[in-house]
Each structure stands twice: as structure tokens, then as C-alpha cells.
A and B are shown apart, each in its own frame.
Chain A
Amino acid sequence: MTSAEAKSPEQKPTVFVVDDDDAVRDALCMLLKSVGLPMEAYASATEFLATFNDKRPGCLLLDVRMPGMSGLELQARLNERGALLPIIFITGHGDVPMAVEAVKLGAFDFLQKPFRDQDLLDRLHQALERDAEHRKVLQTHAAIKERLAKLTPREREVLDLAAKGMPNKVIAKTLGLSPRTVEIHRAHVMEKMDTRSVAVLVQMLASVQS
């Protein structure tokens, strides 16, 4: 990510509220404003989906029952797109199987009305935290993969063997190269992967392989 992107307002976590009830949206808006959380409110799932951008971090506060597309349908649509945004469902009349299904499908939480404001805010902060962590991990993985892609096939071979703890001499023998050549490849690998430590390299490889 460039520094310009990092500073763009789109990267600020936003609470997206989707609820067809004006009074609920207003109340949530007041609550979120009171704790200084940026929020955007939508009166329908369709309206939200039309402007949805998965690059924007935050959390979705979603009513289960709405005319038109329901909250659960919106969850399914977002899942189809592989969306990251964590979802906290809010419902006046949910039942246990519905809540279980929503969590199975990845919902972060399922809150029943009436709830205490503090409970909602606690869950919300947990969800925002998880979203930030999740995005950070994905970003790190992407950066590692990008660096790995810059390696030549030979450098990649040297890296894989070095990651197994093989000394240069053994790598040279295994690949039929001179130890000096392996040293050069290895230096290039360290430079391209931007680290000086084999231990860090091993961690990088493991993190993108899992």
C-alpha cells in the first residue's frame, strides 16, 4: 500500500448500519456519534450492496428482517463475493436456529433487541479489532507473495532448501551448483525478500503456505 492510500479516508474503519427502521438507524447513529465512530446508514440491503466496497474496513450492523432483501440474504451475497467485513446481526425476533446459521455462515455476532448500548459497543469494538487484524494479515501475506513472485526459479529452489535448514554446501551439492553460486543466489533471495534472517524467511514461507 502506498502512503497516499493509507491516508485516504476510505481506510478509516466505518460502521455500516443497514436497517429499514428509521428510528433504529437514528438511534444507532446517535450512539455511534457519541463515541466518535464514523458511520454510514442504509435503509435497505440493496442500497448498501450498490455502494459496497470490500476495501473499506469496518463492521456491518445488520437487521435480520427487512422488506426486499433480508439481512441473511445480504450476508449470503457478501459471502459469495468473499467480503471481509464482519457482520453483527441485530434482531427483534430471531430464534436459536437462525442465530446458529448466521454464525455458521461467518457472522461475528447476533444480538437480540433490546440490548444494552454498552453491549453493542463492546461487540462492535471487538469486531473492528478483528477486521483490522484480518486485513493486516492479508496485507502481509500479499506483500510476501509479491516478493516471492520476484524470485527466479533457481532462487526459489535455493530458498526452499535454505528454509529447510540446509547449509550452502549441501544446497550446492543438491542442485549441482558451486557453493559460490549458491551464495550469490542466497544473497539475492535475502535482498528480494527484504530480510537478513533465515528464521524470518521460514516464518514468511510458513505464513503464506497455511
Chain B
Amino acid sequence: MNPGTGMVNTPAPVCILDPDAAVRDSLVYLLERQSCPVKAFDDAGSFLDELDLGMEPACLVLDWGLPQPGCPALLAELARRGCKFPFIATANQSDIPTAVAAMRSGAMDFIEKPFVSRLLVDRIRSLLHKPASRP
């Protein structure tokens, strides 16, 4: 993280990390139409590579069902790197224990799939307009 540099001039992208191309495409389409910078990734490795290149996400929309080693490993890696951007978890397999686990891992929100893309975009926008606070 680079506090105080480039926050205004280079808008940070909303990042989508989801193996499902249909989910990525619809979110990218909606966000771009609202002139919101967005980048989509189909696996954790390519997302981490982009972070290595200096990308600073505004937030991350994370598929909670990522294949092994899965989200907990990714979140541990992000924590190790000192990343502080907020994330929203989405999940196909959605039950209370899964949702609570995601929230307790620091998710700002948990959205069940299939979701209405517009609703998720609204959640993203409201997340970006309030100061990030993670428990």
C-alpha cells in the first residue's frame, strides 16, 4: 500500500476474482458502464501477479468457492503482504456457516449466488463510498 500517493490521479480498480466467466463478464460490463475501473481475474495466481506489479485494488469481489488452496490461503497471503483493501465474498454454496466464516475472515459483505449483478454493483459502490473498516 502506498498511502498518500496517486490515490486521486490513478483510480484504483474494483477487482473481480471468479472462475466463472459469466459472472466476470456481467460485473465488468456493469461497472464499466458506470465508468468504474475494473479488472477481472479467473484465478488467485493471476490476481497476485498483478498485485506484484503494483496494482492497488479499491476492493475485491471474491468467489468464496475458489479451488484449493482456496480463499483462506489467499486471504492469509494478502494479510502477509499487508493488503488492506476491503473484499466482498460471493458464493454458490451458501449456508450460514459458510457465510459466517467469510464474514469472520474479514469480508465486508457476503452475497449468495446467483446474484442480481446490479445489486452487487450497488453494494460495491456503497462500500467504496464509506471508509474501509475491517474487524
Contact = CB atoms under 8 A, between A and B. Distances in A.
A96 B112 contact: yes
B109 interface: yes
Contact of A104 (B95, B97, B103): B103
- Give the interface centre of B94, B96, B97, B112 by most chain A CB atoms within 10 Å: B96
B87 interface: no
B109 A109 contact: no
Contact of B96 (A94, A104, A106): A94
Interface string B20-50: 0000000000000000000000000000000
Interface of A: 94-97, 99-100, 103-104, 106, 109-110, 112
A11 B18 CA distance: 48
Contacts of A110: 96, 100
A83 to B, nearest CB: 16
B104 A109 contact: yes
Interface of B: 94-97, 99-100, 103-104, 108-110, 112, 135
A96 B99 contact: yes
A100 B89 CA distance: 11
A96 B96 contact: yes
A99 B104 contact: no
Nearest to B91: A96
Contacts of B109: 100, 104
Contact of B94 (A94, A96, A106, A109): A96
23 contacts: A94-B96, A95-B96, A96-B94, A96-B96, A96-B99, A96-B110, A99-B96, A99-B99, A99-B100, A100-B103, A100-B110, A103-B99, A103-B100, A103-B103, A103-B104, A104-B103, A104-B108, A106-B135, A109-B100, A109-B104, A110-B100, A112-B96, A112-B97
Contacts of B94: 96
Contacts of A94: 96
B104 A96 contact: no
B99 to A, nearest CB: 5
Given A99-B100, A112-B96, A112-B97, 15 more contacts: A95-B96, A96-B94, A96-B96, A96-B99, A96-B112, A99-B99, A100-B110, A103-B99, A103-B103, A103-B104, A104-B103, A104-B108, A109-B104, A110-B96, A110-B100
A104 B112 CA distance: 15
